[in-house]
């Protein structure tokens, strides 16, 4: 099956296959072609160029993108999209003055979601989760990292990851899965943190690995959750099963989580709302990419990750949603890109780079998606008629997507 897209006003994010991420000043550039065509064979991009060089291709399907932009679909490298129920009541509690921390200390927060999920069947969890998956696909997401961490028992953690694997199998998205058994300390283990870590390491982890349920390992490294020592124990245990770290650090406190991630060759360190000079220094020269989650900052009214400091220090930066019921009940990457420009002073070029090629890197998918490159998956966004690509983050909150192509097929 050959699909030909013609008359593209501007084809964005054209990259050579050798580019796996962009850093520092390079993030200001978004290579593009004006008045372009693109050819898809089955699910892969096979050719593109300027309309004047359009080959005599026999296409089964032709799409006229006159006045429209085409760009790679969003790569959302940090989500908790598999969850049960919601935490709308906590949202109202916060409006009425309670803090995120106070709610968690009362047994709300992650433990609240875990209780709901433990009492939800695998089929029901799948049913609830795919509503969100279908919604984010329509919003232009073509690659999704999915974490466990709302199970907190062996059975429930495995249930979450099996649901994530079913999503991978049944949808045209690229999916990577992450085991986050150390997301919060269940109340049964109060004052017995080491016993819970033993359970994560000696029971959950071997079972996750045996069923091949995870690509990455994550820990919520934060005061009141898991310390540097706890995090290191988990990362070392994950290494025995070839699970690469992708960790939650510096959401509320900066105390060395970034350097620890770098030391353990983390693929990414995520959140970073609190960041100090030592954190930036430790990232320099490493293969670890920082990931910012602006929708979380927006929803919780906490600081935004200092994107300018990171990029101006020559580092790469990725953007993701953090879609979850507590701190970010939204999986809209378009909103993330706009918010990064508006609140984090990223340029449209930087934000689009961060949400595509760098997002793909942050989930180990740079060979498969994140740019318009021959041989990469045909996961694309076709915008409505817009004056320029900068209009996408500028006219925030509006839907600029005309259609989404995933694995070579128009899905909406």
Ligand X SMILES: N=CN[C@@H](CCC(=O)O)C(=O)O
Annotated binding site for Zn(2+): 78, 80, 248, 322
CA-closest candidate to residue 385, choices 13, 36, 65: 65
Burial grade of 285 (CB within 10 A; 0-12, 13-18, 19 or more): exposed
CA-closest candidate to residue 380, choices 35, 63, 22: 63
CA–CA dist 340, 337 (Å, integer): 5
| Cα radius of gyration (the chain) | 21
Report yes or no: 144 and 333 within 8 Å, Cβ to Cβ: no
CA–CA dist 407, 377 (Å, integer): 6
CA–CA dist 359, 76 (Å, integer): 6
Min dist CB 75 to ligand X, Å, is: 17
Specify the residue, 69 or 110, whose C-beta has the smaller distance to ligand X.
110
Min dist CB 322 to Zn ion, Å, is: 5
Min dist CB 110 to ligand X, Å, is: 5
- The one of ligand X, Zn ion, none whose footprint includes residue 338, by CB under 5 to 8 A per kind, is none
* 261 part of the interface to ligand X, by CB under 6 A: no
Q: Which stretch binds ligand X (CB under 6 A): 35-43, 199-207, 323-331, 336-344?
A: 323-331
Binding-site member from 324, 330, 356, 379 for ligand X (CB under 6 A): 324
- The one of ligand X, Zn ion, none whose footprint includes residue 350, by CB under 5 to 8 A per kind, is none
**According to CB under 6 A, which residues from 210 to 229 bind ligand X?**
220
Binding-site member from 5, 36, 65, 109 for ligand X (CB under 6 A): 109
Query: Contact residues for Zn ion (CB under 5 A)?
Result: 322
Q: Which stretch binds ligand X (CB under 6 A): 130-138, 319-327, 359-367, 397-405?
A: 319-327
Residues that constitute the known binding site for Fe(3+): 78, 80, 248, 322
Min dist CB 265 to Zn ion, Å, is: 20
* 110 part of the interface to ligand X, by CB under 6 A: yes
Tokens of 84: 């049960």
Q: Which residue has the tokens 């099963």?
A: 241
CA–CA dist 355, 375 (Å, integer): 20
Residues that constitute the known binding site for N-formimidoyl-L-glutamate: 150, 324, 326
- The one of Zn ion, ligand X, none whose footprint includes residue 115, by CB under 5 to 8 A per kind, is none
Tokens of 335: 């909103």
Specify the residue, 77 or 334, whose C-beta has the smaller distance to Zn ion.
77
Binding-site member from 306, 326, 331, 393 for ligand X (CB under 6 A): 326
Helix (H, G, I), strand (E, B) or coil at 375: coil
Min dist CB 235 to ligand X, Å, is: 17
CA-closest candidate to residue 400, choices 68, 66, 63: 68
- The one of ligand X, Zn ion, none whose footprint includes residue 317, by CB under 5 to 8 A per kind, is none
User: What secondary structure, in 3-state letters, does 254-310 show?
Assistant: CCCHHHHHHHCCCCEEEECCCCCHHHHHHHCCCCCEEEECHHHHHHHCCCCCCHHHH
CA-closest candidate to residue 411, choices 390, 388, 380: 380
Site track 285-314 with ligand X (rule: CB under 6 A), x = hit: -----------x------------------
Residues that constitute the known binding site: 78, 80, 87, 150, 183, 248, 251, 322, 324, 326-327
Min dist CB 291 to Zn ion, Å, is: 9
Report yes or no: 24 and 41 within 8 Å, Cβ to Cβ: no
Specify the residue, 322 or 368, whose C-beta has the smaller distance to ligand X.
322
Residues that constitute the known binding site for 4-imidazolone-5-propanoate: 87, 150, 183, 251, 327
CA–CA dist 163, 129 (Å, integer): 8
- The one of Zn ion, ligand X, none whose footprint includes residue 220, by CB under 5 to 8 A per kind, is ligand X
Min dist CB 296 to Zn ion, Å, is: 7
CA–CA dist 142, 370 (Å, integer): 9
Min dist CB 293 to ligand X, Å, is: 7
Binding-site member from 148, 282, 288, 327 for ligand X (CB under 6 A): 327
| CA distances, 52 to each of 4, 19, 294, 311 (Å) | 15, 27, 40, 37
CA-closest candidate to residue 355, choices 293, 308, 275: 293
Specify the residue, 36 or 111, whose C-beta has the smaller distance to ligand X.
111
Give 243's DSSP letter: P
Burial grade of 301 (CB within 10 A; 0-12, 13-18, 19 or more): exposed
Site track 353-372 with ligand X (rule: CB under 6 A), x = hit: --------------------
Min dist CB 410 to ligand X, Å, is: 32
Chain contacts with ligand X (rule: CB under 6 A): 80, 109-110, 113, 220, 248, 251, 296, 322, 324-327
């Amino acid at each position: 099956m050959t699909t030909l897209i013609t008359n593209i006003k501007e084809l964005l994010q054209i990259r050579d296959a050798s580019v796996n991420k962009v850093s520092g000043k390079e993030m200001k550039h978004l290579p593009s072609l004006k008045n372009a065509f693109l050819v898809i064979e089955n699910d892969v991009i096979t050719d593109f160029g300027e309309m004047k060089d359009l080959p005599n291709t026999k296409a089964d399907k032709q799409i006229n993108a006159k006045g429209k932009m085409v760009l790679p679909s969003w790569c959302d490298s940090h989500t908790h999209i598999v969850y049960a129920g919601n935490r709308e009541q906590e949202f109202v509690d916060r409006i009425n003055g309670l803090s995120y921390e106070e709610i968690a200390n009362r047994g709300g927060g992650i433990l609240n979601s875990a209780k709901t999920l433990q009492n939800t069947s695998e089929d029901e969890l799948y049913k609830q989760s795919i509503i969100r998956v279908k919604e984010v696909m329509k919003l232009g997401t073509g690659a999704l990292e999915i974490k466990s961490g709302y199970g907190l028992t062996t059975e429930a953690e495995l249930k979450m990851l099996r649901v994530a694997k079913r999503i991978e199998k049944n949808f045209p998205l690229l999916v990577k899965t992450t085991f986050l058994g150390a997301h919060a300390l269940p109340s049964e283990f109060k004052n017995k943190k080491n016993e819970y870590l033993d359970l994560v390491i000696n029971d959950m982890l071997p079972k996750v690995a045996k069923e091949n349920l995870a690509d990455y390992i994550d820990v919520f490294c934060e005061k009141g959750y898991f310390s540097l020592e706890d995090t290191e124990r988990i990362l070392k245990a994950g290494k025995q099963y070839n699970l690469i770290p992708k960790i939650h650090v510096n959401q509320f406190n900066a105390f060395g989580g970034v350097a620890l991630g770098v030391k353990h060759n983390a693929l990414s360190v995520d959140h970073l709302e609190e960041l100090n000079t030592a954190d930036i220094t430790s990232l320099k020269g490493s293969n670890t990419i920082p990931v910012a989650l602006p929708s979380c900052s927006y929803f919780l009214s906490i600081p935004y990750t200092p994107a300018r400091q990171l990029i101006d220090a020559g580092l790469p930066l990725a953007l993701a949603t953090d879609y979850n019921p507590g701190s970010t009940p939204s999986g809209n990457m378009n909103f993330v890109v706009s918010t990064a420009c508006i609140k984090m002073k990223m340029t449209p070029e930087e934000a689009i780079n961060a949400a595509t090629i760098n997002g793909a890197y942050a989930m180990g998918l740079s060979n498969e998606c994140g740019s318009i490159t021959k041989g990469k998956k045909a996961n694309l966004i076709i915008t409505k008629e817009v004056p320029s690509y900068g209009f996408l983050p500028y006219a925030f909150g509006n839907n600029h997507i005309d259609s989404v192509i995933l694995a070579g097929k128009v899905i909406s």
